[in-house]
């Protein structure tokens, strides 16, 4: 009996070992063999099925369909909303608005890398600095905020203001580079602490430069740009013909799955979708009702037992009432308030109504062209490509050839930072015989270009420029600022009495109510516009990031 039991146990163990070995072999072969060719692709197995990680400060927003532009009230009677069904892909969004502390980190970096004491860099720091004078009022004493709001630690976690749209875009770009720089360092592709010890105007990191030409990153300093943990184990070897064969794939690539997509401003559709957070009203595959605000219900006060009567956002209560009477404050703030002072919406996002209004990417137009597109709607696409130099290589901006733009208000900002790849508009090589786009600048597509004007005639499309100017759809003022031969600023203010609108291609949408606004503007669907090169004390911003890969973070089915 004992012998039989031993034999049975031996048989069971043998079967288990065979099954285990077969399973391991199957797993091993599935990882190493290509499903397309059967070739061994061990060098690429690390990138297979790697999910995107959320960047610092970001919250996942699962995409879906929603009714964009649906407002309950239109007391302004400007009819700039058209309710339309839109679908937004999944993305990530900042949990809170960008704070003073976050923006000061950016300014400190700019000041260190591009010292404003040097003539060649002085406009970089000045161009990135918020306009603290936005707090001033002709008939109000606000010097305390003018002097303290940006830098005093008491306001560190308050949303940054005085930042125009262009500055918000540059901050987002800076954030992309710093996050990816840290990821590459963590994975052994950059020298440890180079991002703080070795960075300079001549040695600056840019994600696209690294991906296109790793040896050009950090000014081509090979002591900083490393071959990575795996690449370091692949030394050059002698080939069959005696020639040295250099190791390949030693730098991180997009296929490595290490680098994150860029931080950017959210589109108007993304912002409205995230603010409305209709996911909280979902029952199976339908919404149980449209919410007026980012929270449930039609009132600005909480109906929950623990916080009944508390205001759910920071906004203007009435004429001369920004926060209630002393000792009984309605919303706890008279100007802005620290982020996370009010409950988050159903996506986990804070202050999607009130506190400060927020910039989005879109160029403003009075209506949403829902006939043209109902998927990831956005107006403002300007397609560019990398500039290729005479030597056939990408042209990287250096400290010597920085180009600046002078805005209509006279402020000077850097068009691009050293270390970045110079960009040029796409041309016929990319647009010829395409059906999805036919030019670089698509801001005016179907609205605002000459072809959209009621005066346009295809027979004389190349008519007199003065005639075209007088017949353009958006007849907005055209202020111009130039610099003379002595470096003096020459301002040309448009004094024409024939202007009929403020809308042009440099007007951007901003969303959400602010501490200066009445409850009417807290509706996520409400939309307003402001010049992209101007700032206020009530507009801030938050960043977004596209989601790559599947729509959901976990598998779902209709049964759920």
Q: How far apart are CA 369 and CA 384, in angstroms?
A: 24
Q: How far apart are CA 521 and CA 515, in angstroms?
A: 10
93 beta partners: 59, 544
Check residue 458 and give its pLDDT: 53
Check residue 497 and give its pLDDT: 87
Give a yes or no: residue 475 inside a domain: no
pLDDT-derived band at 94 (thresholds 50, 70, 90) equals: very high
Residue 233, pLDDT > 50, answer no
Using DSSP's 3-state secondary structure scheme, residue 107 falls into: helix
pTM listed for this prediction: 0.88
- Distance of CA 447 to CAs 267, 322, 373, Å? 18, 39, 13
Q: How far apart are CA 228 and CA 410, in angstroms?
A: 45
Domain that holds residue 321: 53-104+114-161+262-380+510-554
Q: How far apart are CA 259 and CA 237, in angstroms?
A: 29
Residue 235, pLDDT > 50, answer yes
pLDDT-derived band at 18 (thresholds 50, 70, 90) equals: low
Residue 244, pLDDT > 70, answer no
Contacts 24+ apart (CB under 8 A), 221-227: 223/191, 224/190, 224/191, 224/194, 224/198, 225/189, 225/190, 225/191, 225/251, 226/188, 226/189, 226/190, 226/191, 227/189, 227/251
> How many domains in the chain?
1
**394 close to 213: Cβ distance less than 8 angstroms:** yes
Check residue 515 and give its pLDDT: 97
Residue 47, pLDDT > 80, answer no
Give a yes or no: residue 329 inside a domain: yes
Instruction: Indicate the burial class of 38 (C-beta count within 10 angstroms; 0-12, 13-18, 19 or more).
Output: exposed
Going 70 to 71 to 77 to 81, the CA torsion angle's sign is negative
Check residue 249 and give its pLDDT: 67
Beta strands in 183-265 (DSSP E): 237-238, 244-245
Residue 415, pLDDT > 60, answer yes
Check residue 68 and give its pLDDT: 92
Q: How far apart are CA 91 and CA 364, in angstroms?
A: 22
Q: How far apart are CA 62 and CA 539, in angstroms?
A: 26
Dump pLDDT digits (tens) for 310-354. 888 999 999 999 998 888 888 999 999 999 999 999 999 999 999
Give a yes or no: residue 319 inside a domain: yes
* Nearest residue to 223 via CA among 247, 190, 195, 200: 190
Q: How far apart are CA 437 and CA 554, in angstroms?
A: 34
Dump pLDDT digits (tens) for 485-524. 776 778 888 888 888 888 999 999 999 999 999 999 999 9
pLDDT-derived band at 30 (thresholds 50, 70, 90) equals: very low
Q: What angle do CA 216, 386, 205 make, to 5 degrees?
A: 35
Check residue 76 and give its pLDDT: 76
Looking at 17-26, 472-481, 493-502, which range is the least confident one? 17-26
Going 185 to 188 to 189 to 193, the CA torsion angle's sign is positive
Check residue 28 and give its pLDDT: 45
Percent of the chain with pLDDT over 70: 83
Give a yes or no: residue 48 inside a domain: no
Q: How far apart are CA 356 and CA 161, in angstroms?
A: 8
- CATH code at 329? 3.90.1580.10
Dump pLDDT digits (tens) for 52-72. 888 999 999 999 999 998 888
Secondary-structure percent of the chain, ordered helix, strand, coil, rounded to 5: 25, 15, 55
Residue 296, pLDDT > 60, answer yes
Give a yes or no: residue 458 inside a domain: no
Residue 544 φ/ψ, nearest 5 degrees? -130, 170
CA 70 to chain centre: 24
Most confident of 26-35, 162-171, 185-194, 238-247: 162-171
**534 close to 528: Cβ distance less than 8 angstroms:** no
Neighbour count for residue 275 (Cβ, 10 Å): 25
- Distance of CA 142 to CAs 128, 148, 279, Å? 23, 10, 41
Give a yes or no: residue 100 inside a domain: yes
Residue 263, pLDDT > 70, answer yes
Percent of the chain with pLDDT over 90: 50
Neighbour count for residue 122 (Cβ, 10 Å): 14
Looking at 136-145, 171-180, 184-193, 296-305, which range is the least confident one? 296-305
Residue 257, pLDDT > 80, answer yes
Q: How far apart are CA 424 and CA 383, in angstroms?
A: 9
Helix spans in 189-339 (H): 194-197, 207-212, 228-231, 268-276
Residue 447, pLDDT > 60, answer yes
pLDDT-derived band at 240 (thresholds 50, 70, 90) equals: low
Residue 73, pLDDT > 90, answer no
Average pLDDT in the 288-317 region? 86
Residue 234, pLDDT > 70, answer no
**351 close to 313: Cβ distance less than 8 angstroms:** yes
* Cα Rg, the chain, nearest whole Å: 28
Q: How far apart are CA 207 and CA 213, in angstroms?
A: 10
Tokens of 345: 């919406």
Give a yes or no: residue 236 inside a domain: no
Check residue 246 and give its pLDDT: 56
Check residue 128 and give its pLDDT: 94
Residue 23, pLDDT > 70, answer no
Mean pLDDT for the chain overall: 85
Question: Given the structure tokens 């197995």, which residue do they identify?
Answer: 45
Q: How far apart are CA 516 and CA 74, in angstroms?
A: 19
Average pLDDT in the 110-128 region? 92
Specify the higher pLDDT residue, 381 or 488.
381
Neighbour count for residue 4 (Cβ, 10 Å): 8
Using DSSP's 3-state secondary structure scheme, residue 84 falls into: strand
DSSP state of 552: S
Give a yes or no: residue 122 inside a domain: yes
Contacts 24+ apart (CB under 8 A), 435-442: 437/381, 437/383, 440/382, 440/383, 440/384, 441/382, 442/381, 442/382, 442/383
Q: How far apart are CA 372 and CA 81, in angstroms?
A: 16
């Amino acid at each position: 009996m004992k012998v039989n039991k031993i034999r049975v146990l031996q048989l069971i163990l043998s079967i288990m070992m065979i099954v285990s070995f077969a399973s391991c072999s199957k797993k091993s072969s599935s990882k190493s063999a290509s499903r397309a060719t059967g070739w061994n692709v061990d060098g690429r197995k690390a990138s297979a099925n790697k999910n995107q990680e959320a960047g610092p400060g970001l919250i996942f927003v699962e995409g879906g369909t929603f009714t964009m532009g649906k407002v309950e009230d239109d007391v302004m009677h400007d009819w700039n909303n058209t309710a339309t069904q839109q679908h937004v892909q999944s993305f990530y969004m900042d949990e809170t608005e960008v704070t003073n502390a976050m923006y000061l980190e950016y300014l400190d970096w700019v000041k260190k890398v591009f010292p404003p004491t040097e003539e060649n860099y002085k406009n970089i720091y000045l161009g990135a600095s918020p306009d603290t004078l936005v707090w001033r009022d002709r008939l109000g004493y606000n010097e305390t905020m003018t002097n303290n709001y940006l830098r005093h630690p008491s306001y560190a976690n308050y949303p940054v203001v005085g930042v125009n749209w262009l500055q918000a875009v540059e901050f987002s770009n800076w954030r992309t580079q710093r996050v990816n720089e840290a990821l590459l360092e963590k994975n052994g592709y950059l020298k440890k602490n180079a991002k703080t010890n070795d960075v300079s105007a001549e040695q600056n990191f840019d994600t696209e430069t690294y991906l296109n030409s790793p040896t050009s990153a950090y000014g081509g300093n090979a002591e900083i740009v490393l071959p990575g943990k795996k690449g370091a184990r692949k030394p050059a070897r002698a080939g069959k013909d005696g020639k040295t064969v250099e190791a390949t794939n030693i730098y991180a690539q997009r296929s490595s799955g290490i680098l994150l997509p860029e931080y950017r401003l959210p589109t108007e559709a993304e912002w409205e979708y995230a603010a409305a957070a209709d996911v909280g009203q979902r029952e199976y595959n339908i919404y149980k009702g449209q919410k007026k605000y980012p929270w449930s219900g039609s009132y600005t006060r909480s109906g929950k037992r623990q916080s009944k009567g508390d205001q759910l956002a920071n906004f203007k209560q009435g004429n001369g009432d920004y926060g209630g009477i002393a000792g009984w404050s309605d919303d706890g703030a008279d100007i802005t308030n620290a982020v996370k002072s009010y409950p988050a919406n159903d996506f986990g996002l804070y202050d999607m109504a009130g506190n400060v209004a927020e910039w989005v990417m879109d160029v403003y137009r009075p209506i949403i062209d829902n006939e043209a597109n109902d998927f990831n709607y956005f107006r403002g696409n300007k397609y560019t490509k990398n500039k290729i130099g005479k030597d056939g290589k990408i042209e990287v901006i250096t400290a010597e050839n920085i180009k600046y733009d002078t805005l209509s208000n006279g402020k000077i900002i850097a068009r691009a930072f050293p270390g970045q790849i110079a960009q040029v508009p796409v041309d016929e090589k990319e647009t010829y015989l395409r059906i999805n786009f036919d030019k670089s600048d698509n801001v005016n597509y179907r609205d605002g270009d000459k072809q959209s004007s009621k005066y346009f005639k295809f027979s004389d499309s190349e008519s007199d420029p003065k005639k075209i100017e007088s017949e353009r759809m958006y007849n907005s003022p055209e202020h111009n600022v130039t610099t003379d031969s002595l470096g003096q600023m020459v301002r040309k203010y448009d004094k024409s009495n024939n202007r009929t609108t403020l809308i042009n291609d440099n007007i951007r949408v901003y969303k959400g109510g602010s501490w200066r606004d009445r409850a009417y503007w807290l509706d996520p669907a409400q939309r307003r516009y402001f010049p992209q090169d101007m700032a206020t004390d009530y507009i801030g911003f938050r960043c977004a990031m596209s989601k790559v890969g599947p729509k959901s973070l976990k598998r779902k089915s209709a049964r759920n």
